[in-house]
Amino acid sequence: MSSSPVRAQVFHYLGFTIAPEQNTVTCRYALDGREFTEEIRVPGATPEQWAQPAVVEAARLLFLLTGVSYYKAGAPPVIDLGEHALTARELAFLREFYIDGLGEFAFRSDPQLDLTDLEIRAPLLERTYPADFHPAPGRPLLPFGGGVDSIVSVELLRPITTEPSLFVVNRPGDTFEAIEKPAVVTGWPVVRAERVIDPQILHAAKGEFFNGHVPVTGIISAIGVLAAALGGHDAVVMSNEWSASVGTVEVDGRSINHQYSKSEAFESAFRDVLADAIGTDFQYFSLLRPYTELWIAARFAELPQYFDTFRSCNRSFHINLEHRLDHWCGRCDKCCFIDLILAPFLPAETLRAVFTRTPEPLDNPELLGKFHTLLGLSPDTKPWECVGDVHECQIAARMAADRIDRVGSPILNRLLVALGPGDPSGEAEQLMKPVALHHIPERYAPADLLV
């Protein structure tokens, strides 16, 4: 077998089926004749709920987005939807989802791939009106990951909602401690879904398929919309901040963003598609879109009830149980970023207690290079991770270095030398205010957006 995969010719959308008795949506695809199946399960619904037009529309949109995981295996130049018709808006959205959502995958593939000439073949759907979906307001569904962002969203929503629920997607029989423990602290009920990815993808031989990043937040969003339609929730509330829209690298004038499906561009396009399909009484939006990572970190610092349970380290979410950690690894880019962005607002001893099994990243001289990259002080690109903007990281380092309990920090002192003279106070003040456009409806808007 070749050590490097060969691009396929055509990716086919075969169809999706809803099995109300099993609470399952099954999506089928084919790559040059090789078939793949994915199942999404949302337990607890009745056959009557599954038959609602909004649920059927949500399942159709889910079918469109989950295909990206199987297309990626062969990355062919043609996608054929067969008899599955799309509106012009849906076709444009789907093409953007593939090209920009797989931007990192294509850029980092070996050999590097160019997906910009992707052709999507589909009949045109002439939609006359959306599905009849009119959920009662005040029942949001909040996808919850157990990290700083989703915790802050919970506490922003708490005083203004009547029946909120968390939303969690897992593999069957598997849960993540890093999600479950802080979820308990919220005190909110949890709506759950299961995603069963075709084992051909999970257990492929080396070189059999292309491998790399997919826009998984977009897929989770679509599963969330399905769960919301089933449960009569009026909103799916994401926790994607302003800097998620900032690209990781620019190539030939085109931004390639690791966080594309957390970006405002994806949010806006998906909202438009949802409005056409299921109506505007339902809302999909990010509650943190107007805010910087510094603003979010400052809010989190006021929530000590979560300090013992929150976790954002990706090693806590490894699919392979043998590689999954029950603590912060203390060494990855995500650990370094979370430590840095919280350092201006939390005592050093508090953060050292968070990293219980390892030194706090800001205390570990071996990680200086990672901090240089986060601050844009090295030739390396911004990490291919869900981390903040370079400028935010620079301001966070200056603010942290001003704390009495960080005086003499070798890493922070070396970062300040590399940054050169500067006063963070004015810039920090601007970053502690809403800085971006958003789609938050008035009924869910935090107080500072209503002034």
Fold annotation for 10-126+135-286: Rossmann fold (3.40.50)
Degrees (nearest 5) of the Cα angle 379, 217, 183? Answer: 110
Degrees (nearest 5) of the Cα angle 111, 388, 331? Answer: 75
Mean pLDDT calculated for residue range 343-370: 94
Mean pLDDT calculated for residue range 407-423: 91
DSSP H or E run through 373 = helix 368-374
Residues carrying CATH 3.40.50, the chain: 10-126+135-286
Percent with pLDDT over 90 in the chain: 80
Q: Amino acid letter at 236?
A: V
Residue 33, SS3?
coil
Kindly report the average pLDDT of the chain as a whole number: 93
* Per-residue pLDDT at 323: 77
Q: Given the structure tokens 């399952």, which residue do they identify?
A: 24
Question: Taking 50 as the threshold, does the pLDDT of residue 446 lie above it?
Answer: yes
* Structure tokens that stand for 133 in this block: 């979906």
Distance of CA 15 to the CA centre of its chain: 26
Beta-carbon contacts of 75 under 8 Å, excluding residues fewer than 6 positions away, are 7, 8, 102, 105, 106, 109, 113, 115, 210
* Structure tokens that stand for 165 in this block: 């629920």
* Structure tokens that stand for 202 in this block: 């999970």
Residues 296-351 pLDDT 10s: 999 999 999 999 999 989 888 877 777 788 889 999 999 999 999 999 999 999 99
CA dihedral of 280, 284, 287, 288, whole degrees rounded to 10: -130
**Cβ atoms of 293 and 341 closer than 8 Å:** yes
Question: Taking 80 as the threshold, does the pLDDT of residue 261 lie above it?
Answer: yes
- Using a 10 angstrom Cβ sphere, with 0-12 exposed, 13-18 middle and 19 or more buried, the burial of residue 440 is buried
* Per-residue pLDDT at 4: 76
Residue 102, SS3?
coil
- Provide the sign of the torsion angle of the four alpha carbons 67, 286, 195, 18, taken in this order: negative
- The CA radius of gyration of the chain, in Å to the nearest whole number, is 22
Beta-carbon contacts of 143 under 8 Å, excluding residues fewer than 6 positions away, are 150, 166, 167, 168, 169, 220, 221, 224, 236, 237, 238, 239
pTM of the model: 0.95
Mean pLDDT calculated for residue range 409-425: 89
Cα–Cα distance, 275 to 268 (Å, whole number)? 11
Cα–Cα distance, 40 to 172 (Å, whole number)? 10
State the pairing for strand pair 34-41/190-196.
Answer: antiparallel
* Structure tokens that stand for 36 in this block: 């793949």
Cα–Cα distance, 23 to 51 (Å, whole number)? 11
Distance of CA 46 to the CA centre of its chain: 29
Question: Taking 50 as the threshold, does the pLDDT of residue 2 lie above it?
Answer: no
Question: Taking 70 as the threshold, does the pLDDT of residue 370 lie above it?
Answer: yes
Whether the bond between 111 and the residue before it is cis, its omega within 30 degrees of 0, is yes
Residues 104-158 pLDDT 10s: 999 999 788 999 999 999 999 998 889 989 999 999 999 999 999 999 999 999 9
pLDDT band at 3 (very low <50, low <70, confident <90, very high): low
Beta-carbon contacts of 199 under 8 Å, excluding residues fewer than 6 positions away, are none
